[in-house]
């Protein structure tokens, strides 16, 4: 049986516990992202046959698409242990030492939000990734000396929603770089059915499809919708989730038929009503809505961009015709092209 040693630096909230309970344990159990999973299966097979650690892997993509899931599945496939931490928790090289020195041969170190790791920590980990050693400086000034410590061979897995914020030297040290895409409605419906069975909650195929259609192409959102609908069905009905119950539950949660929640609609309403459809910068929108700009750019905008509710221009965000339609507003007529005025000497 695969051993899994987990060191967390940030207390897990209830949602994270639920997500962990529903996560697949092996690559063959992963729904969606099949091309990524197939490449990882090849890498795992090669690692076992060659008796070498798995190459360092970087996962990037919007939140909730399975970066952490893949990171926790791979140690199970390899029969090794995993340690988990996050970029914001590693403020100095000393914060990384307990993880590196506790590594076992072939084990996995997972760093979530790796783009938020300070540059000094990033540079400290370079020799660990390349040569499986670290250099520790003892003392200061003229009396300072450097000790080189050998590490056991390991695999670093990084997850990021902003791969562009990683430095080129850091990105180049990852042997594999996998970008995760949004899921189809059919894939999400299958995830909902599987996780509903894990929760011992009966659900009809039509209800699973209804939840999937309102889950923004994201498994994490689908799981959140499932938990809410499960509670709604248990509290007000007999516990079984039917299509009508799923619709009522999501309507009560202010999630519309397009999968937009109240923050999405507030974003679009602010952009259209206050800023005349744009263009406007994300900082201005964040200040008006009273949400962090990172929340807008990492959690709200990817889906709105993908579904063509908004677009990005050099001057800022611009509302597309579909945004006006979903809010029941009339899109503005395109401005007629102005003909150049004849010059004085034309």
Residues acting as catalytic residues: 67-68, 112, 161, 220
- What are the C-alpha distances in Å from 136 to residues 65, 216, 262? 37, 46, 50
Cα–Cα dist 133/151, whole Å: 5
Considering only CA atoms, which of 245, 274, 255 is closest in space to residue 326?
255
Cα–Cα dist 170/276, whole Å: 41
SS3 call for 31: coil
Considering only CA atoms, which of 141, 144, 175 is closest in space to residue 158?
175
List b or e across 195-221, with b for residues whose CB sees 16 or more CB atoms inside 10 angstroms.
bbeebebebbeebbbbbbbbbbbbbbb
Question: Can you tell me which residue has the tokens 């040569």?
Answer: 131
Q: What is the DSSP letter of 181?
A: P
In this structure, are residues 76 and 54 in contact, taking their beta carbons and an 8 Å threshold?
no
- What are the C-alpha distances in Å from 283 to residues 15, 301, 314? 28, 13, 14
Question: Can you tell me which residue has the tokens 């190459």?
Answer: 55
């Amino acid at each position: 049986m695969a051993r899994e040693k987990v060191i967390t630096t940030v207390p897990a909230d209830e949602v994270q516990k639920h997500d962990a309970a529903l996560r697949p344990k092996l690559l063959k159990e992963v729904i969606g992202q099949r091309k990524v999973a197939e490449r990882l299966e090849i890498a795992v097979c090669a690692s076992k046959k060659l008796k070498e650690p798995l190459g360092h892997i970087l996962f990037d993509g919007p939140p909730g698409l399975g970066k952490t899931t893949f990171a926790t599945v791979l140690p199970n496939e390899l029969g090794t242990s995993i340690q988990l931490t996050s970029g914001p928790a590693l403020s100095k090289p000393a914060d990384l030492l307990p993880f590196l020195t506790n590594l076992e041969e072939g084990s996995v170190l997972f760093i979530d939000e790796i783009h938020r790791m300070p540059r000094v920590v990033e540079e400290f980990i370079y020799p660990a990734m390349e040569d499986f050693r670290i250099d520790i400086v003892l003392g200061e000034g003229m009396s300072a000396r450097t000790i080189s410590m050998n590490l056991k061979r390991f695999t670093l897995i990084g997850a990021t929603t902003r791969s562009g914020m990683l430095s080129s030297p850091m990105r180049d040290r990852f042997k594999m770089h996998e970008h995760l895409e949004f899921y189809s409605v059919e894939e999400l419906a299958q995830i909902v059915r599987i996780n509903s069975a894990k929760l011992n909650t009966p659900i009809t195929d039509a209800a699973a499809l209804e939840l999937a259609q309102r889950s923004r192409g994201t498994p994490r959102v689908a799981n959140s919708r499932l938990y809410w609908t499960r509670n709604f069905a248990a509290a007000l009905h007999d516990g079984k989730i039917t299509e009508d119950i799923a619709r009522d539950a999501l309507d009560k949660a202010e999630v519309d038929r397009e999968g937009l929640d109240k923050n999405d609609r507030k974003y679009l309403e602010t952009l259209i009503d206050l800023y005349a459809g744009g263009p406007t910068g994300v900082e201005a929108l964040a200040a008006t809505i009273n949400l962090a700009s990172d929340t807008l750019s990492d959690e709200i905008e990817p889906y709105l961009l993908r579904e063509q509710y908004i677009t990005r221009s050099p001057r800022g965000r611009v509302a597309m015709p579909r945004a006006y339609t979903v809010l029941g507003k009339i899109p503005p007529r395109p401005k007629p092209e102005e003909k150049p005025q004849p010059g004085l000497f034309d």
